[in-house]
A = this chain, B = another copy of it.
């Protein structure tokens, strides 16, 4: 169950409203690397958590914190839209600020939300529940979470670089710090679970003897023109999970050309696709019911 106090986790001040920046901030709300995604991702991981209780509890803690981050950003969007208007009249062309607004702003910030945040990304594409990853496997989920916090921190640094507004820079410096923590937090779980050698290959509960042992540590090169430059730590030496040795091999087909045969008449392909099939002569086909 959840509670609130109506206050912000960090101060949100906007010295000079900027509708273009409001549009860019939307990426951090409704984008695939945004706060709605991490909030819902940690929540769904918690609500479906099976196994040691502390991981469920921790996911719930941080999912709840992320809700406060959406709140920060939604407030920042609204404040950056203060004063934005839907004015496309003649004089607008002469006003660089208005031009800037209409040129680079999200028109739905005026038309649909009345100068408030929306559940969309910086292109105006709605947030999707498909972004929410919760596999039921704790290690896979932790990698998904490190990924989310890495892309999230990259996004926040790019936003931080895009603005001179002190209030916005402060808020982003706070969020960047939280992303640093959260990267470390999910890495800490991976360490607790046994580290790279203990966790991989994920899922570690599948008996590795069942996978095809001829192809589990081979770098397969599809390069056909001279020698490949794609060599490195992954093409020789012990594998990172410690359970095999890397090799480098040229790709070659182990199967042959597939032949799906003639189409079944119920699928109503063209007759020409079925002709070669003696049991489906044209008169037969024409009698189908």
Contacts and interface: CB of A to CB of B under 8 A. Distances in A.
Interface string A162-200: 111000001001101111110111011101111010011
Interface in A10-38: 10-12, 18, 20-21, 23-24, 27, 30-33, 36
Given A48-B260, A131-B130, A201-B153, A161 B8 contact: no
| Total copies of this chain within the assembly | 6
Nearest to A194: B272
B43 A111 contact: no
B268 A64 contact: no
A79 B261 CA distance: 10
Contact of A67 (B2, B138, B218, B274): B2
A138 to B, nearest CB: 5
Contacts of A279: none
Given A154-B137, A212-B174, A107 B269 contact: no
Contacts of A213: 177
Contacts of A150: 135, 137, 139-140, 143, 202-203
Given A6-B223, A121-B124, 13 more contacts: A2-B222, A5-B223, A47-B258, A51-B273, A82-B261, A114-B268, A120-B123, A180-B201, A180-B241, A184-B201, A184-B234, A205-B269, A224-B224
21 contacts: A1-B4, A1-B7, A4-B223, A33-B135, A47-B258, A53-B229, A57-B228, A68-B222, A78-B258, A120-B123, A143-B147, A146-B147, A153-B203, A176-B212, A177-B215, A180-B217, A180-B241, A184-B240, A189-B232, A191-B240, A205-B274
A157 B27 contact: no
Interface in A213-269: 213-225, 228-234, 239-241, 244, 246, 251, 253-269
Nearest to A47: B74
A52 B104 CA distance: 31
Contact of A129 (B118, B201, B221): B118
Contact of A154 (B51, B67, B268): B268
A272 B189 CA distance: 11
A278 interface: no
A283 to B, nearest CB: 10
Given A161-B266, A187-B240, A4 B3 contact: yes
